[in-house]
Amino acid sequence: MTSLTAQSRPMTQGRALIRIHRLEYPFPAVYACHVLWGACFAATDPRQLFTVPVLVTLLANLLAVVSQNPLNAALDIRADTHTRGKDSIATATRRLSPAVAFRCAAIEKTLALTLATAVSVGLGRPAVAIGVGLAIVLHLLYNLEPVRLKRRGFANPAYFALTFAFLPCVSTYSALRPDVPAPVWLVFAGLAVLLFGRSLWWSIPDLAGDAAAGDRPPAVRHGAYRSLLVACAATAGALVLTGWGLWWLYGPVWSLLGVAACAAFLIDKLGLLPGISDDNLPDERTMRKRSLSMVLAADLLLVVIPLVAG
């Protein structure tokens, strides 16, 4: 009875804003980890993270990451309506109106690019603004026709690899140091491939909704089982790259610790392979509360390792 009452309550504007920005647990903490990674691998002292240029760069990248969500919510109402667990995003978008969601995305992207450009000019390091600017361009290409990377197979998870990991890493790293050594590039590449695998896994429950909306991401093109298999293979490759970079930077103990934390997600997904099919899809809410808690633990450890081991 309580559950039915809660579901029947009208969604407030505040709750709707949180939902279209995907700010439910554990997303805010995950986003923060993604923008902190680059700065943490650049810092030689944790106090460097609290300088004005670094804080502004972190905020710019966080705004850029979050701004993708209302844009996507405004354009994916049909798909979200047909996806179990994501129908509340469509409800929230209708509650606010797609125009408000577009406006939120535009304001956040503009502010993100303005802040990043200010830091780039002040430090004389273009990579800070280039990382944010490229991410914003990719947000538009992912969501808008005629390109709409969302419906173009593996370009879908590749987009998330770039905009939620690689480009924020490069941008925030550049706020502290102008040079990126080879082992750090390996770690950044590993983190990007890690996001590729996670994003591919995360898109599988959207199969029916994406198909109804006419999009053709990997789960629609290749089915849930093959998509999860590719996600697991990508995650395994990510562990190799990330572990190699961490070993090169900090030695075997820290490398094995980081890899072990990230491997928990892979082991969990391998356990899903025998039962997953196009007719037996995981639920978004369950994935968010269970699997993303493991993701958050690994992401937090990857924030801490360079600060402690470096």
Nearest to 71 by CA among 100, 96, 29: 100
Q: Is the pTM of this model over 0.85?
A: yes
Residue 260 to residue 264: CA distance in whole angstroms: 7
AA letter at 210: D
pLDDT of residue 273: 84
Residue 194 to residue 158: CA distance in whole angstroms: 10
pLDDT tens for the 310 residues of the chain, in order: 333 334 445 789 999 999 999 999 899 999 999 999 999 999 999 999 999 999 999 999 999 999 999 999 999 888 778 777 678 888 999 999 999 999 999 999 999 999 999 999 999 999 999 999 999 999 999 999 999 888 888 999 999 999 999 999 999 999 999 999 999 999 999 999 999 999 998 888 877 777 777 778 888 888 889 999 999 999 999 999 999 999 999 999 999 999 999 999 899 888 888 888 887 777 767 777 778 888 999 999 999 999 999 7
Beta-ladder partners of 277: 280
Alpha carbon dihedral 73, 217, 27, 77, in 10-degree steps, equals 20
Answer yes or no: are the C-beta atoms of 201 and 190 closer than 8 Å: no
Residue 201 to residue 227: CA distance in whole angstroms: 7
